[in-house]
Structure 1
Amino acid sequence: MSLMFEEIDSQATPLGQISLRRRSMPAFGDRDIYEVKLGDEFLMSSMFVEAEEALSTLGLAAVQGDRLSVVVGGLGLGYTAVAALNDERIDELLVVDALETVIGWHRDERVPLGKVLNADPRNRYVLGSFFDLATDPARGFDPEQPGRQFDAILLDIDHSPSEYLNPANASFYTTDNLALMAQQLKPEGVFAMWSQNLPDPDFEALLRTVFARVESHVISFYNPFQGGESTNSVYVCVK
């Protein structure tokens, strides 16, 4: 078993001090738990990854066709991106993250899934603000092909549609800005988004102002700290 706690890295970023830590917890056996803190706030953890993986599996299940081009907004610890690459239809995956530090942890393989992402030629990291790129369709997500469209956009950055990693992100959750993002989807393309909360009827109504079909999925997983199940949700929208 590894050390009970180790800080692997800590760096200043435009959003504040970000740190990567590894710890062991008896409730998880011999599995190392990786976690990221932004200031005093826990940003992400490998304790529970079922919903992050479901963001990819549910989102891509709604996509028709082959040779798919997909955007993942928010690299995190890599679980959404790796789950997307498990879909053999993926031809190219762009993983957009605003923090060079987080991309560096994966490129340098300081987190376990960095090796998986680096070894897959379909994966490409894009350094930039997802929200800035989402609302600028003329520029778009791909710095090599401005204005291109994608089969799916998978988003896991904010804690929920009403709880933001950065207060500036709040402006994204409007009809106008969601519609700008939707311009970057191909016809019948899919937008999917993770939330730590149960589905929000007001947000579902907002999504329906932009997308032809909106479905919400509740993801349940065992939480040993609560002695029972916890839940997250995934919204899946078809253009």
Structure 2
Amino acid sequence: MSKLFEEIDSQDSPLGEISLRRRRIPVFGDRDIYEVKLGDEFLMSSMFVEAEEALSTLGLAAVQGDQLKVVVGGLGLGYTAVAALEDERVSELLVVDALDTVIGWHQDERVPLGKILNADARNRYVLGSFFDLATDPDTGFDPTVGGRKFDAILLDIDHSPTEFLNAANAGFYTTENLALMAQQLTPGGVFAMWSQNLPEARFEALLKTVFSSVESHVVAFYNPFQNCESTNSVYVCVKGEA
């Protein structure tokens, strides 16, 4: 039987100390729960993955065609990336993360989904700032080929478009920088983004200054800690064909 609590790893990062923990809560049954903390703040838990998976399923559902080339911004515990690879149309996946510690957890298979990602030849990890790469279309997301275009960009880094993991990320959420990112999408390509909050009308209006179509989806899931339903959101935006 696994320990009730174990800190698997803890490392300094540019954002502060980041740690990976595994715990068991007997009332929730025979399962390991993986958690990531940044300092004293909980970033993610394998208890709540429905919205992270929905980011991929809803985003890719809006993309037409086959042989899709996809970028995931923010590796986390890997749920968005694995859900993307479950779409058989995806031929290539680049997962961008700014923290080599998080990429290392997956490469070393210290988290459960690392084994799945490592075994899939379509997947590639990219160490770098999503926001820097998103706003530099001449370089772009692929460190081996500059200026590539992708069919979908799926983003799960900040808590919401107004609550940031790093204050420096706030500058991304402008018409100018979203338009720079959109240059890296194919015509009809999709940008989708996760948020911990309900859809925000001001952000929807901002997205509409760049994208031809913007839809917001509320993803509901059961929260056993509060014994009630919780919600997150996924914004799905389609670039015009012209």
TM-score tier by shorter-chain length is over 0.9
Q: Match of 1:186, SS? A: strand
Equivalences for residues 21-170 of structure 1 within 5 A = 21-170=21-170
1:26 CA drift (Å): 2.7
1:227 CA drift (Å): 1.3
1:228 CA drift (Å): 1.5
In the alignment, what sits opposite 1:196?
A: 196
Give deviations 1:22-60, integer Å, cap 9, x for gaps: 000134211110001111111111111000000000000
Letter in 2 for 1:207: L
Q: How high is the sequence identity, in percent, across the aligned residues?
A: 83
Letter in 2 for 1:75: L
Any conservation in 2 of the 1:6–1:21 contact (CA below 8 Å)? yes
In the alignment, what sits opposite 2:230?
A: 230
Q: Could you tell me how far apart the structure 2 residues matched to 1:72 and 1:55 are? A: 10
Letter in 2 for 1:127: L
Any conservation in 2 of the 1:36–1:43 contact (CA below 8 Å)? yes
Provide the alpha-carbon RMSD of the alignment.
0.6
Q: Could you tell me how far apart the structure 1 residues matched to 2:167 and 2:184 are? A: 24
| Structure 2: gaps (5+ residues) | none
1:224 CA drift (Å): 1.1
In the alignment, what sits opposite 2:183?
A: 183
Q: Could you tell me how far apart the structure 1 residues matched to 2:91 and 2:28 are? A: 35
Letter in 1 for 2:91: D
Q: Match of 2:237, SS? A: strand
Number of residue pairs the alignment of both structures matches: 239
Any conservation in 2 of the 1:27–1:224 contact (CA below 8 Å)? no
In the alignment, what sits opposite 1:171?
A: 171
Q: Match of 1:203, SS? A: helix
Any conservation in 2 of the 1:133–1:139 contact (CA below 8 Å)? yes
TM-score by length of 1: 0.99
TM-score by length of 2: 0.98
